Structure 1
Amino acid sequence: MKAIFVNLRTWRKTPKKCFDKGFTLIELLVVVSLIGVLSAIAIPQYSHHRERGFDLIAKHSLRVTAVAEEAYYVEHGEYIDCNESNCSALLPNLDPIPSGVQLNITTNADDFIGTASHIKGSGEVYRW
């Protein structure tokens, strides 16, 4: 009889212990709301940094193309018109332009004007 009484005591305590091991609904709501606030702060910063990185790629491509144009002018005595698709073929010292960069070089008798932007960037057009 004593063994049955001991089993009944532990049986009554078992469900209560199970409920003590979890989180309450309020605690879960607080954690979810904190995650939401932190992600609302972090996601715009992340997208801004990505746009800035793509803009730097466009700036770098424009700078490298301008240097290649100057080298071409020193050798041939003239500048050459090109865009992102044919600049690397026309200018011998130029590596291929990265994908997504919109580059345009227009020339006149003594000078050239270069513009560059990136499709995934901020939309700003850089000029040389």
Structure 2
Amino acid sequence: MLSRRAGIEGFTLIELMIVIMIIAILAGIGIGSFHVVKLSAYKVTLQHDLKNFVKAQEAYTTDHGRYLGAAGDFIKWGRPYSGTLAVPEFNFRPSEGVSVEIISGDGQDYMGTPPFIVTAKHEQSKIYYEYDFAVRKTTERQE
């Protein structure tokens, strides 16, 4: 039979292991939830930037009679912003980590073949969005 000395109190090894195990489980749940929230934030950022890119293209068309750019043209976040679409008369700047690229077509003939399509990608996400100017539709894709 084990006896305790008077006045000495503490936790047993089993009690400490149980507390550590509970903390580890809670941390695992928290990290998993954080990852889901982070991916959701990337998706919202991409949708927002793509919507703003389309609005900037519409404004550019009002002034110049055509969309800006052709396949291969892009704009990427940075200090300063980079890419062939980073021109002063085009009022669009992507969010941190985002790049928008024209993957097919030409702004001169956005209804032509191939269609005028742009993508918005985040450097930390495998999900990206495409926008087709001919049918005015956004599609979610995954790398």
Relative to the length of structure 1, the TM-score reads 0.74
Q: Which has the larger radius of gyration?
A: 1
**After the TM superposition, which residues 36-115 of structure 1 pair with which residues of structure 2 at under 5 Å, given as runs?**
36-81=24-69, 82-84=73-75, 85-86=82-83, 87-89=85-87, 91-94=89-92, 96-105=93-102, 106-108=104-106, 109-111=109-111, 112-115=116-119
Aligned length: 110
Tell me how far apart the structure 2 counterparts of residues 47 and 119 of structure 1 sit (CA, whole Å). Answer: 15
* 1:69 and 1:91 in contact (8 A); partners too: no
Offset at residue 63 of structure 1 (A): 0.9
Cα deviations by residue, 1:86-115 (Å, 9 ceiling, x for unpaired): 334254322x22231121125430343211
Q: In the alignment, residue 128 of structure 2 is paired with which amino acid?
A: V
Can you give the 5+ residue segments of structure 1 that lack an aligned partner in the other structure?
A: 1-14
Higher relative contact order (CA 8 A, sep 6+): 1
The structure in which a higher percent of residues are helix is: 1
Identity within the alignment, %: 29
* Structure 2 gap ranges (5+): 76-81, 132-143
Q: Provide the C-alpha distance between the structure 2 equivalents of 1:78 and 1:57, rounded to a whole number of angstroms.
A: 26
- The 1-side partners of 2:110 and 2:16 are apart by 69
Q: What CA deviation, in whole Å up to 9, does each residue of 1:27-51 have, x standing for no partner?
A: 1111001111112222111112112
Q: TM-score, normalised by structure 2?
A: 0.67
- After superposition, the Cα gap between the structure-2 partners of 1:118 and 1:125, relative to the gap in structure 1 and judged at 3 Å, is same
Counterparts of 2:53 and 2:88, CA distance in 1: 11
